[in-house]
Structure 1
Amino acid sequence: MKSSSLALAIVGLLVSIAPAQDAPRFDRTVRGKENFEAAIPRPDQDQVAAEKLAAHIAKTGKRPNILWMIVDDMGYGDPGCYGGGGAIGAATPNMDRLARDGLKLTSCYSQQTCTPTRSAILTGRLPMRTGLTRPILAGDKLTKNPWADERSLPALLSDAGYHTLLTGKWHVGEPKGMRPHDIGFDEFYGFYPAQKEITQGKDARRYPDLVNDPQLIRAFEAIKPDDHLQHGFKGGRTETLEQIKTTEDMGRAEKKLADFTIQRIGELAQQDKPFFIEHCFMKVHCDNFPNPDLGPLSAAKYFYKEAVAEVDLHTGEIVKALDDAGVLEDTMIFFTSDNGPQMDGWPDAGYTPFRGAKGTTFEGGVRVPGIAYWKGMISPGRESDGLFDLMDLFGVALNLAGVSTDTLAQDKYYDFVDQTSFLLADDGESAREAVYFWWGSTLMACRMREYKLHTKVILPESTHMDIDYSTLQTAGLAGWYFNLYVDPKESMPVGHRRNAWLASVLGKLKAHGATFKKYPPKDIGL
């Protein structure tokens, strides 16, 4: 029997043997709308959260501010609150304080590389649906603008009366029509590409064959991404500011970005409208360069550790700016990383206790720190292993801003789950039953509860070579099925020996794949 026929047969069998609606079920979800991801009903905590939010709005007279802080390529184990910090050479007191005073998520998931994650959280849709399946690199030629028919979160919030600002790294397209201030942000202050894309043409020690070869550097200059700090405004007006000319310039850039966010917080706090700020750190994506005006900041002194310590420093400064402006209690903060550590850059790379790294769909590539903090609204000291996909931030932001999901397109499938009550209710539980993992256009894996099934895997052929020296392989005859509570390193499949739910998770995975038949993916040339 062909694999597609087998998949449909399994899904049909699962449906035929499904218990009555009021009986306990392994898959606890209910689908509210056909084109929305099904969620676990949590009516009691939804009511608690709604009442809590309504009381806050009545007290303040406006909708809450929203601040996301997104680190680039930070490992799950880098912050002290996740087992790293001072113990591995770079203390993170400010990250740790957010976790201690808020909600620490231990099963928070990203996509396996940066562009897919950054696009997913702004669209509420998987990268396979939008076409933004991998980073856009020098020399890429897109066949269409993936944002042209997407309704982005900043556009929705801007229409709802928010001032929307992205500071820092973008890396989701720099042609006109794809820049942050083209796709819905009222304001953008930052850089279009990642650090490495900027500095590789300036670092003769690391890239001597490029920098010191006149022919190659001329060719690179013709296709390289923009290396200027940009200040853009809705409508397209763009001010091109200073150029990154040296690695020292790149080292200083992080502070310049943080200072701008701090400045804008003070200014926006004086306005009647709420704000949405997505602060995207350039660090800790390799190649990292320390700020010569600040260091050393870490015990380890290595460039990566210096970058972690600097991100922590600016995290504390940004939170303090909210407090100084009198809006800390009016602002929901979420702190995270866009994927796991890029081990190909080691030792300029982070730490994860899990198998794999950036570029893979093993836990090391996709399980990231996730901290929700809102003074007076999220009870301190909470910790949860409930599933949370970073796409769920899309739904949380819509809820906080009072934007109805009825405004979203009916001909598109949305993968986010509204997790507002998970974050706000004192004993909140996740409404997400499953997280799906893609690598490019390949459906790789599914986590459902504590179980994870891989049908395809990325396997490195050498130590730390999860991207540059790895292969895509089929994960055995029955897939690789792990219980993450007894085997968090995904080392020994247990599907036929110690688990009865393999077929159920496989059915969930196949049902997810089937949504692409009615709602086909976009191909933008990547």
Structure 2
Amino acid sequence: MEPAIPRPEQEKVAVSKLKNLEAKQGRKPNVLVLLVDDLGWGDPGVYGGGAAIGAPTPNIDKLANEGLRLTSMYSQPTCTSSRAALTTGRLPVRSGLVRPILTGDKVTQNPWEKEVSQGKLLSKVGYKTALIGKWHVGEAEGMLPHEVGFDYFYGLPSVQSDYTQFLVERQYADMMTNKELYTKASQLRPEGLIKGRKGGKREVAYPINSIEDISMIDQVLRDESVKFINQAVDEGKPFYLIHSFSKIHNDNYPAPKYKGASPAAMPVRDAMVEVDDITGELVALLKEKGQLENTLIIFTSDNGPNEDTWPDSGYSPWRGGKGTTWEGGVRIPGIAYWKGMISAGQVNNGLMDLTDIYMTSLRLGGVIDELPSNMYFDGIDQTAFLLADNGKSRRQVVYMWSREDFTALRWLDYKIHFKVFNTAVPRRNIDASFLLDIGTAPWVFNLNMDPKEMASTGHQYFEWGMPQATKFMKAHIATMKKYPNTDIGLGL
């Protein structure tokens, strides 16, 4: 496992809190992960967005103000890679899930024959587990959530734009109005939202044939999560649920009652208001069912905003966006709320990664020791960090990759780039950027002083730290020699 910083005093606090809670509740705690698609660090109000950018987020803000707001939470630069990290506890370069799997992509092998989802491990010890919403970690046979260990899946096998590209003629006219192209492309057209139960077949649960159907996806997903939580509580079982929003990934079509609901009156801002309301509704349900005290709630994003689709995109104050390993692509909102377990009003700049959610969930469920010993896990159990007042992160380093290229790491308050993205056209981080080798020295930014990563000062102010950063990099790469990465054919 990835080396973690020992925090013995924090660990004592965590052990005591969890022991007392289990004695009171009579079962293990629930975990609810609220995962928004392409949400930028600057979108929620508590991160400087909200009303300031025309989309108030009172429910998300309340969750943060009554819990712990993390200011240095990290993801991978794209959807599939981040979601793979969240559901395997491993960096995507290890599983081969290094880039978004596109409709029509054929993987050369199923990575889930080796990878271990948290749903699989937690189900074995009595948890009711589900992923409801966007998956995007493989849709071939044997790769949907209910086929890789979760008890239940209801949602999008891939991504929202897979549906809208067959419905919005003005935007996709070159394909839709060309009969030959449309006929070929339609062979890959998804029918709708899919559902399945462990050991069962897939079925179309919600057909999608119009923009009106698209607009209601997150409302349908909300209803499914409500049913799932109600069933778990009524059965007296702890639950693990990833509620994965389809919004605010392009193309945004808010539900009818949210059209024009934001002060900005733009689709992506209306969608943000809808996401906020659903967040509030799910938290209210937990309160109604008497489960707030026994549920860790994590609110986060899969990567930074997709500036390529502006103005249908989120917002980040940092350099770059989705598709890059600049801060704008990988530094995301992260809120941890647990009534009575996490003290309210905390703001913490300690490092945390999506893989840490995986490992922390396994710790709470009591199955962290069930992980196979022949694989390397990048996640760190951050239970003690979250539960101790003004806790300190147990993570030394965040490692950043772009497909099979190691690009950067963050250590303490320093960001060290070994390869850099150069965006040739503004707001075209995916469609018009280059990944370039560095010159004489790695690019280094003190994120306290230069949070936008504007001017490297590596050789001038960081020579003292370069040997340590290089040591981290070499040790990290060495783990892949001992535990070889899987290639599933997603490289170019």
What TM-score comes out, normalization by structure 1 length?
0.92
1:39 aligns with 2:12: no
Percent of residue pairs identical = 49
Q: Contact (CA 8 Å) 2:416, 2:469: kept in 1 or not? A: yes
Q: Could you tell me which of 371, 374, 377 is aligned with 1:414?
A: 377
Q: Contact (CA 8 Å) 2:68, 2:336: kept in 1 or not? A: yes
Q: Could you tell me which of 160, 166, 171 is aligned with 1:195?
A: 160
Deviations 1:272-302 (A, max 9, x none): 2100010000000011112124332200011
1:328-347 superposed matches below 5 A: 328-347=292-311
**What secondary structure, in the 3-state scheme, does the structure 2 residue paired with 1:279 have?**
strand
Q: Show the counterpart of 1:383.
A: 347
Deviations 1:183-206 (A, max 9, x none): 011001111111111111111011
Q: Show the counterpart of 1:494.
A: 457
For 2:317, the aligned partner's letter is: P
Q: Contact (CA 8 Å) 1:453, 1:506: kept in 2 or not? A: no
1:84 aligns with 2:52: no
**What secondary structure, in the 3-state scheme, does the structure 1 residue paired with 2:234 have?**
coil
Unaligned runs of 5+ in 1: 1-35
1:70-219 superposed matches below 5 A: 70-219=35-184
1:49-88 superposed matches below 5 A: 49-88=14-53
Q: Could you tell me which of 224, 239, 255 is aligned with 1:260?
A: 224
1:305 aligns with 2:269: yes
Q: Contact (CA 8 Å) 2:88, 2:358: kept in 1 or not? A: yes
CA distance in 1, matches of 2:19, 2:439: 51
Q: Show the counterpart of 2:417.
A: 454
For 2:48, the aligned partner's letter is: G
Q: Contact (CA 8 Å) 1:455, 1:476: kept in 2 or not? A: no
**What secondary structure, in the 3-state scheme, does the structure 1 residue paired with 2:313 have?**
coil
Larger deviation, residues 157-166 vs 502-511:
502-511
Q: Could you tell me which of 316, 322, 343 is aligned with 2:286?
A: 322
CA distance in 2, matches of 1:453, 1:171: 30
CA distance in 2, matches of 1:478, 1:384: 31
Deviations 1:211-238 (A, max 9, x none): 11111111001134x2311121000332
1:355 aligns with 2:319: yes
Q: CA RMSD in A?
A: 1.0
CA distance in 2, matches of 1:345, 1:294: 21
Q: Contact (CA 8 Å) 2:359, 2:368: kept in 1 or not? A: no
CA distance in 1, matches of 2:433, 2:93: 21
Q: Show the counterpart of 1:10.
A: none
1:269 aligns with 2:230: no
For 2:362, the aligned partner's letter is: L
Q: Contact (CA 8 Å) 1:248, 1:290: kept in 2 or not? A: no
For 2:175, the aligned partner's letter is: L
Q: Show the counterpart of 2:394.
A: 431
CA distance in 1, matches of 2:13, 2:152: 34
Unaligned runs of 5+ in 2: none
Q: Contact (CA 8 Å) 1:458, 1:471: kept in 2 or not? A: yes
Q: Show the counterpart of 1:25.
A: none
| Greater Rg by CA | 1
Deviations 1:148-191 (A, max 9, x none): 11121110000011000111101111112101100011001111
CA distance in 2, matches of 1:227, 1:89: 34
CA distance in 2, matches of 1:45, 1:427: 10
Q: Contact (CA 8 Å) 2:260, 2:266: kept in 1 or not? A: no
Deviations 1:116-150 (A, max 9, x none): 11111111100000000011002211100010111
Larger deviation, residues 236-245 vs 211-220:
236-245
Q: CA deviation at 1:427?
A: 2.7
Q: Could you tell me which of 370, 384, 392 is aligned with 2:356?
A: 392
1:282 aligns with 2:246: yes
Q: CA deviation at 1:94?
A: 0.6
Q: Show the counterpart of 1:223.
A: 188
**What secondary structure, in the 3-state scheme, does the structure 2 residue paired with 1:122 have?**
helix
For 2:410, the aligned partner's letter is: R
Deviations 1:424-460 (A, max 9, x none): 1113110001000000000000100001110111211
Larger deviation, residues 288-297 vs 496-505:
288-297
For 1:277, the aligned partner's letter is: L
CA distance in 1, matches of 2:301, 2:26: 32
Q: Could you tell me which of 198, 217, 225 is aligned with 1:234?
A: 198
Q: Contact (CA 8 Å) 1:76, 1:340: kept in 2 or not? A: yes
CA distance in 2, matches of 1:400, 1:178: 26
**What secondary structure, in the 3-state scheme, does the structure 1 residue paired with 2:256 have?**
coil
1:471 aligns with 2:426: no
Instruction: List, as ranges, runs of 4+ consecutive aligned residues in structure 1 with deviation greater than 3 Å.
Output: none
CA distance in 2, matches of 1:303, 1:295: 7
CA distance in 1, matches of 2:213, 2:238: 33
CA distance in 2, matches of 1:307, 1:420: 32
**What secondary structure, in the 3-state scheme, does the structure 2 residue paired with 1:55 have?**
helix
Q: Show the counterpart of 1:12.
A: none
What TM-score comes out, normalization by structure 2 length?
0.98
CA distance in 1, matches of 2:228, 2:478: 44
Q: Contact (CA 8 Å) 2:258, 2:273: kept in 1 or not? A: no
For 2:433, the aligned partner's letter is: S
Q: Contact (CA 8 Å) 2:348, 2:390: kept in 1 or not? A: no
**What secondary structure, in the 3-state scheme, does the structure 1 residue paired with 2:40 have?**
coil
**What secondary structure, in the 3-state scheme, does the structure 1 residue paired with 2:216 have?**
helix
Q: CA deviation at 1:404?
A: 3.3
Deviations 1:363-385 (A, max 9, x none): 00000000000011100001100
CA distance in 1, matches of 2:287, 2:191: 33
For 2:436, the aligned partner's letter is: Q
Q: Contact (CA 8 Å) 2:306, 2:313: kept in 1 or not? A: yes
Q: Contact (CA 8 Å) 1:73, 1:338: kept in 2 or not? A: yes
Deviations 1:376-430 (A, max 9, x none): 110000110000011001111011101132x212211110111000001113110
Q: Show the counterpart of 1:8.
A: none
For 1:489, the aligned partner's letter is: K
